[in-house]
Chains A and B, each alone.
Chain A
């Protein structure tokens, strides 16, 4: 996977010419021990962006602080959106520092308090940020041990720490607390060299299941999301929206809207909004705008989508080229040539994009549900012509992100309106706006041409992916002759898709895994082999073999004939440094084409798993959310018009769809890897393969809706 390219795609458009001075954190904060650190990979990637980017802090992008009362805070630009990193990161920090978990507080995403960070996406928080944070904690622990050694007159080697108390290992009554050591101190360190962190086997908090830390707030309605903030004099904004993407506003008549009692209409170029302290009155006024738009004719809709995309295909870029395909073809007994399609899919978080902004005449504060507070800060400053230091973005809780809240248009809109009106302005998109402006998972095409020999070994693999990007498109199997050609960069194809596209949980990977694992299943069937056995025969990657063997054991897998089996499918995948293997059992209603997923087994290997509870819940969430893109979710559109506007037609997973789930995490003493996305990537393939196993109907397009299943059944 080319991660660097993914990030570049991601931060495109977040350019800023302004030269930001590093903020003076000491001015803001009091005494204690500070260790500044940077999540190395993230900053290196930023540096690779070169001169077009703002000046970056070269020495840190996060820091931790031991307070004078012995409590510990970590300040980071990462955010919590339900994935549970507020819990996982606190566990890591507590464990490395030897303090109680309850004494650790994560301060996240506030652009005034936290150092610059790119954003929260790509399952990077634990695997990239986590190790740097551990190293900083190790550094802080060393500082504390040095202080303790001095105070107690005992060699460091003879000291032990338990829950923030340093003991003389030989005489337990000789002790001093972190709080006592820190009191009156002002020590700063920069964790440049990597101090030695503990061996994974030594951790006591990490690796043990920990329930999420924010449940109490969330079950009592006290947790604050952006739309829940109340400020004196605040108004709700309802903005004029175009009928289709790229439509040009020709004229707007606001005279009727202005008659709504108490409304304020803002008209600033294309920004036209009705503002009212009562959201229903603001909506009423918006509905009275009479606007004329000139729409752009885009000759694409659900009917001709894949022909259109093929016609517009950009030039390919070969980025894997091993062996020689023609040599591979010479040893081939059977050739397989297939094309796979994947449609547009929406993020649909339950909380639509929402932001509240307030401009006090000097400083702009924006509370926004966003995965990217710092890029949002840059964009707001640039668009409003403000100094970045005068813009503060504070993310409250996020009601789901899944990649969709990397885009932060609502925060810009709120800031623009707040600057114009001087009032606190709430921009809370309704569900239709959420669908319209969503950065959909791109529709994509994958063509695979491959072969096997008489023994069932894969001889060659020629892979072409259009529009999805190459994440998750590694062959995974041991194939001597292989080539990968990628058409289009990442998940964006400006000017081709009729609306915005973007990163969707495990970007590109669900599309690529669907293609690869379906193709492999087809080859296994033709070879007359059991699909698990076929995969094991062609795998050399030990991590892949381990998860596949584990899941087969969990499901008590018995070799069976396909088709004519009892509805079992298998698929493997890798994402964010983590390996997964799935088995699913389905029941297809041959009359209606409805597919009921009865049970899903998943084995996951993610290096050292910091919080098995949190990781398990992410796996379950991936399986349930993945049912949607696999079986039902289709964005309806006509040119730049998004026809899908609410959950009456956009069918996301419901309770009656939910399978029984059995998960297993293979714990390893190796650096932790990503956990928020991997288990979603196999869902299309594992269900498609199970459908085939039961019925003989082969699905080549997602979503595998009842209509498409019926069409495939007819071909059996």
Chain B
């Protein structure tokens, strides 16, 4: 049964008429044409589909659209402010922390969620927090460096 579901998406109020059981991943990719959020495994193992819901990183392949009703959803497309990249995005560029780039949106969103929770993480906190986001190209060391430096930059700008 289709229902009206309202939520905030990248800062805008949006409304859809859909079955509540639809997966957020596919609604984002098809209904909203926000294709930066990637399918990687479909079962929550890889983190390619990570987005923020009320500032926490979640797996959009394992979240229904019904679950985000009334909530604030941010995808990779909504992270930068105009031309100004989010400090985590900027750090990924500055550290060359990507290769094929397919896991990158999920990595960045997960890192932002992690920093929302722990603004001054230790290296070990970052490793633990990123553990279930998979990268096959092997950019791990640079991703960790990028998140570490983004955390410092964000703290310094406060």
A: which residues have CB within 8 A of B? 81-84, 211-212, 214-225, 227-228, 230, 277-280, 348-352, 397-402, 428, 430-431, 613, 617, 620-625, 646-648, 652-656, 658, 660-661
Closest B residue to A431 using CB positions: B41
Decide: B35 and A431 in contact? CB cutoff 8 A: no
Q: Which residues of A contact B20 (CB under 8 A)?
A: none
Task: Determine the chain A residues whose CB is within 8 A of the CB of B80 once the complex forms.
Answer: 220
- Complex contacts, A223 vs chain B, CB 8 Å: 101
Instruction: Count B-side interface residues using an 8 Å CB cutoff.
Output: 56
Q: For A214, what are the chain B residues with a Cβ–Cβ distance below 8 Å?
A: 101
Closest to A648 in B: B45
Measured between alpha carbons, how far is A211 from B30 in the docked complex, in Å? 33
The smallest C-beta distance from B79 to any residue of chain A, in angstroms, reads 8
Given known pairs A219-B108, A398-B100, A655-B127, the reply for A350 and B141 (CB within 8 Å) is no
- Chain A hits for B30, CB < 8 A: 277-279
Q: Do B104 and A218 touch (CB < 8 A)?
A: yes
Chain B 84-108, CB within 8 Å of chain A: the 1/0 string? 0100010011001011111111001
Q: Given A621-B137, A624-B141, A625-B138, check contact A219 B89 (CB 8 Å).
A: yes
Partner of B33, one of A216, A230, A349, A400: A230
> C-beta contact mask, B21-33 vs A, less than 8 Å → 1, else 0?
0110010011001
Q: Which residues of chain A are within 8 angstroms of B136 by Cβ–Cβ distance?
A: 348-350, 400, 402, 625, 652
CA A228 to CA B93, docked complex, whole Å: 22
Which of B29, B36, B40, B104 is in CB contact (< 8 Å) with A431?
A: B40
The chain B residue sitting closest to A212, CB to CB, is B96
A352 to B35, CA, bound (A): 15
A348 to B103, CA, bound (A): 12
Are B102 and A620 closer than 8 Å at their CB atoms?
no
Across-interface contacts of A348 in B (CB, < 8 A): 136
Q: Is the CB of A658 within 8 A of B141?
A: yes
B17 located at the interface, meaning its Cβ lies under 8 Å from any Cβ of chain A in the complex: no
Indicate if B68 sits at the interface (CB-CB under 8 A): no
Of all chain A residues, the one with the shortest Cβ separation from B92 is A219
Task: Give the contacting residue for A647; candidates B22, B89, B134, B139; CB below 8 A.
Answer: B134
Q: How far is the CA of A623 from the CA of B138 in the complex (A)?
A: 8
Which of B37, B42, B131 is A656 in contact with, Cβ under 8 Å? B131
| A654 to B100 alpha-carbon distance, docked (Å) | 17
B35 touching A230, Cβ below 8 Å: yes
B60 close to chain A: CB less than 8 A:
no
Is A220 a contact partner of B38 (Cβ separation < 8 A)? no
Question: How near does chain B come to A624, taking the closest CB pair, in angstroms?
Answer: 3
Taking a contact as CB atoms under 8 Å apart, the answer to whether B36 and A220 are in contact is yes
B73 at the interface (CB under 8 A from A): no
Interface majority SS on A: helix, strand, loop or mixed? loop
Task: List, in ascending order, chain B residues with CB within 8 A of A84's CB.
Answer: 99
Q: Most chain-A Cβ atoms within 10 A of its Cβ — which of B101, B108, B128?
A: B101
- The 8 Å CB contact of B100, one of A219, A224, A397, A655, is A397
Interface centre among A350, A352, A397 (most CB of B within 10 A): A350
Q: Which residues of B contact A648 (CB under 8 A)?
A: 43, 45
CB under 8 Å from chain A, chain B span 64-88:
75-77, 79-80, 85
Task: Please give, as numbers and ranges, the residues of chain A lying within 8 Å of B140 by CB-CB distance.
Answer: 624, 653, 655, 658
- Minimum distance in angstroms from B132 CB to a CB of chain A: 8
| Chain A to chain B contacts (Cβ below 8 Å), 13 pairs | A219-B93, A221-B34, A221-B37, A227-B38, A348-B136, A351-B38, A352-B40, A397-B100, A397-B101, A398-B100, A399-B102, A624-B141, A655-B140
Query: Closest chain B residue to A426 by CB distance?
Result: B30
Give Cα distance in the complex from A304 to B57, angstroms: 44
Report the separation of the CA atoms of residues A352 and B136 in the bound assembly, to the nearest whole angstrom.
12
Candidates B75, B102, B128; contact of A400 at CB < 8 Å: B102
Instruction: Give CA–CA (A202, B134) in the complex, Å.
Output: 41
Rounded to whole angstroms, the CA-CA distance of A652 and B96 in the bound complex is: 22
Other contacts beyond A222-B36, A228-B35, A399-B103: 7, CB < 8 A = A215-B98, A219-B98, A219-B101, A224-B35, A227-B38, A279-B26, A655-B131
CA distance A431 to B98 in the complex (A): 22
CA distance A221 to B144 in the complex (A): 20
B41 closest partner in A (C-beta): A431
Closest chain A residue to B105, Cβ basis = A221
The answer to whether B138 and A221 touch across the interface, beta carbons within 8 angstroms, is no
| Complexed CA–CA distance, A622 and B98 (Å) | 14
A621 to B34, CA, bound (A): 29
Q: Which residues of B contact A613 (CB under 8 A)?
A: 96
Whether the Cβ atoms of B130 and A221 lie closer than 8 Å is no
Determine whether B46 belongs to the interface, using a CB cutoff of 8 Å to chain A. Answer: yes
Most chain-B CB neighbours within 10 Å: which of A81, A223, A401, A613? A223
Separation of A321 and B137 alpha carbons in the complex (Å): 38
* Nearest CB on B from A410, distance (A): 14
**B142 contacts A617, C-beta separation under 8 Å:** yes
**Which chain A positions have C-beta within 8 A of B133?**
655
Q: Which residues of A contact B134 (CB under 8 A)?
A: 350, 647, 652, 654
Quick check: B98 and A218 within 8 Å, CB to CB? yes
Q: In the complex, how many angstroms separate the beta carbon of B43 from the nearest chain A beta carbon?
A: 6
Chain A residues whose C-beta falls within 8 Å of the C-beta of B139 in the assembled complex: 617, 620-621, 624
Q: Which residue of A lies closest to B144 (CB)?
A: A655
The smallest C-beta distance from A65 to any residue of chain B, in angstroms, reads 27
A219 and B85 within 8 A (CB): yes
Q: Are B46 and A647 in contact (CB under 8 A)?
A: yes
When distances are taken between beta carbons in the complex, the residues of chain A under 8 Å from B126 are 655
**For residue B89, which residues in chain A have a CB less than 8 angstroms away from its CB?**
219-220
Q: Could you tell me the distance in whole angstroms from the C-beta of B28 to the nearest C-beta in chain A?
A: 10
Q: Which residues of A contact B92 (CB under 8 A)?
A: 215, 219
What residues of B have a CB within 8 angstroms of the CB of A220 in the complex? 36, 76-77, 79-80, 85, 89
The CA of A660 and the CA of B123, in the complex, are separated in Å by 13
Interchain CB contact (< 8 A) of A350 among B36, B38, B75, B93: B38
Which single member of A82, A224, A656, A658 contacts B99 (CB below 8 Å)?
Answer: A82
Partner of A280, one of B23, B38, B144: B23
Compute how far the CA of A399 lies from the CA of B135 in the bound complex, rounded to whole angstroms. Answer: 10
Docked pose: A546 CA to B40 CA in angstroms: 41
A279 cross-chain contacts in B, Cβ below 8 A = 26, 30
Q: Which residues of B contact A620 (CB under 8 A)?
A: 138-139, 141-142
**A81 to B77, alpha carbons, bound, how many Å?**
22
Compute how far the CA of A446 lies from the CA of B39 in the bound complex, rounded to whole angstroms: 38
Contact of A653 among B26, B39, B103, B138 (CB under 8 A): B138
| Inter-chain contact A350/B100, CB cutoff 8 Å | yes
A215 to B85 alpha-carbon distance, docked (Å): 12
CB distance from B58 to the nearest CB of A (A): 17
A221 CA to B48 CA, complexed, in Å: 12
Residue of B nearest to A613 (CB): B96
Q: Which residues of A contact B46 (CB under 8 A)?
A: 350, 647
What residues of A have a CB within 8 angstroms of the CB of B98 in the complex? 82, 212, 215, 218-219
A158 to chain B, nearest CB (A): 41
Residues of B within 8 A of A400 (CB): 99-100, 102, 136-137
Given A81-B100, A219-B98, A220-B85: A431 in contact with B42 (beta carbons within 8 A) = yes
- The smallest C-beta distance from A687 to any residue of chain B, in angstroms, reads 15
